Structure 1
Amino acid sequence: MEYNQNHVLVAGFAQFPKGTPIFELYKVLGCILIIDKENDVIEDATFTFLADTTRNFISSIVKGKCIKNGIDDVIKEVEIRFIVPGQRAVVQSIIAAYERYCDYKSRHFLREGKTDIS
């Protein structure tokens, strides 16, 4: 995929649950989202997982989702379809990336003197 000026990359991180094998390997999970800031659609996503299958599966859940009205629908789908011991860390990393994106949009629009960030 090619990216352009409308795309921004945001990242969020969360700690895996202590006592799980994945915590012993990684400790922290990263969620990296590339979002089209013009339409608030997640164009690409990756997660710092060992197995390609796991990374590809969770990425497929979030890719293409519009987050203009929030992230709740994405989180619900992750909770329904991604049943692993580190599920909560995945959810938290997505929320952290989304919050970073919202902060960016707020700052970006304030600099431009706009009053509505939608």
Structure 2
Amino acid sequence: MSIESNIDINPNKKTYDDHTVYIMSYVKIPESTPVGIIYGFVAIGFIINYKTDIIEDSSITFISDEVKRFFKDLTVGFNLKNGIEELENIVKLRLNVASQKSICVALRDIDKKYQRWKQDEMKKLQTH
């Protein structure tokens, strides 16, 4: 399996501003699903602007490019201040895939990691 990348890595060109953080979660999924057979897990990553709590970019391990694009459409622009439950409800309504429950578990895990990270970072900023 070859992995191709169209990413232009240019140290002088930034894609994301300095107020973003990347948070990722891996969740095991049933081996009865195509993604489970190939990967054994689903990985979701969010690039979040921690000044606004808005998801600026997202990724998900999936076989279908359409699902990857659709997931990005569902998540990019979402404000985590609205609560991860709202995003879960959107996923439950609009992303009807066999690994939907695992995706929701990963979303909750990302939110927990992000909230913990943000709390820790804000403490550091206050002490400096």
Both proteins in one fold, TM over 0.5: yes
- Is 1:71 matched with 2:84? yes
Q: Deviations over 1:6-65 (max 9, x none)?
A: 011110111112322321111011101000000000010010111110111011101101
Equivalent residue number for residue 99 of structure 2: 86
**Whole-angstrom CA distance in 2 between matches of 1:99 and 1:56:** 24
The 5 A counterparts of 1:25-104 are 25-104=38-117
Contact 2:35 2:42 in 1 (8 A): no
Unmatched tracts of structure 2, length 5 or more: 1-13
Unmatched tracts of structure 1, length 5 or more: none
Q: Give the 3-state SS of the residue equivalent to 1:73 in structure 2.
A: helix
**Percent identity over the alignment?**
24
Structure 1 segments (4+ residues) deviating >3 Å = none
AA aligned opposite 1:20: T
Length-normalised TM-score, structure 1: 0.89
Contact 1:46 1:59 in 2 (8 A): yes
The Cα RMSD (Å) is: 1.5
Q: Give the 3-state SS of the residue equivalent to 2:80 in structure 1.
A: coil
Which one scores higher on RCO, CA 8 angstroms, separation ≥ 6?
A: 1
Question: Which of structures 1 and 2 has the bigger CA Rg?
Answer: 2
Aligned length: 114
Equivalent residue number for residue 22 of structure 2: 9
Name whichever of 13-22 and 99-108 sits farther off.
13-22
**Whole-angstrom CA distance in 1 between matches of 2:48 and 2:103:** 18
**Whole-angstrom CA distance in 1 between matches of 2:91 and 2:24:** 17
